[in-house]
Amino acid sequence: MSEKTWYDLSDIADLVPKRMIKETNYFNGNFSECNRFNIPGLFYGAMTDTCLTGPQEAPFNVMVDDVGQEFIFRQPTDLFELDCILQAANFDPFEGYGADGDVHWTLRLIREWWESCDDLLDEVESLRQHNENVKEWKQYLLGPAIEYLRQYAFFVEEGKRPLAFDVLPIL
């Protein structure tokens, strides 16, 4: 798992242009049906199948909830993780993954999601049934997720990656 907290797909834009993501039929998820466990970001799971294939394809990024629907617990940070998410989406026959989160997330929604994290963590035991990486998910939420979310909130509000001198929003 990459140690970067910010995912910057511009690093790999020449290798995997955003149009490739748009041209696939994998990402037809509806943001209004977004699984509440999804961490805010470009990718999300919404009304996916319950075949439990997502975590096998993208173990550093995808988990399943207590009914077996897939969600992005950590956004991709490199080309390998991005490819894994593409594969997870490809294996979802319901085409429930979305790749348009950037146009839906707002600072208010990110703050609301962050405020709900304690409730999500309270459900950690129910996630163990289908996931081997619950410990990593919990460590991520209790550690680097806050810095990622602050950077992502800046990106959502300002339309650009934060630089060292930029003031990040408080969640």
34, burial (CB in 10 Å: exposed 0-12, middle 13-18, buried 19+):
buried
Which pLDDT does position 124 carry in this prediction?
A: 84
Which pLDDT does position 146 carry in this prediction?
A: 94
Domain boundaries, the chain: 9-158
Which pLDDT does position 125 carry in this prediction?
A: 85
Cβ–Cβ < 8 Å for 50, 69: yes
Which mean pLDDT values do the consecutive 10-residue runs of the chain (171 residues) have?
A: 48 50 75 96 93 93 95 92 92 92 96 95 89 91 94 94 92 94
Locate 43 and state its tokens. 């990718």
Locate 26 and state its tokens. 């994998």
Which pLDDT does position 12 carry in this prediction?
A: 46
Which pLDDT does position 2 carry in this prediction?
A: 41
Cβ–Cβ < 8 Å for 117, 141: yes
C-alpha to C-alpha distances, 147 to 15, 129, 167, nearest whole angstrom: 27, 29, 12
Which pLDDT does position 23 carry in this prediction?
A: 60
C-alpha to C-alpha distances, 17 to 10, 28, 64, 82, 162, nearest whole angstrom: 9, 18, 28, 12, 21
Short-list 140, 18, 158, 167, CA closest to 75: 140
Greatest C-alpha distance within the chain: 45
* Distance linking the first and last C-alpha atoms of the chain: 25
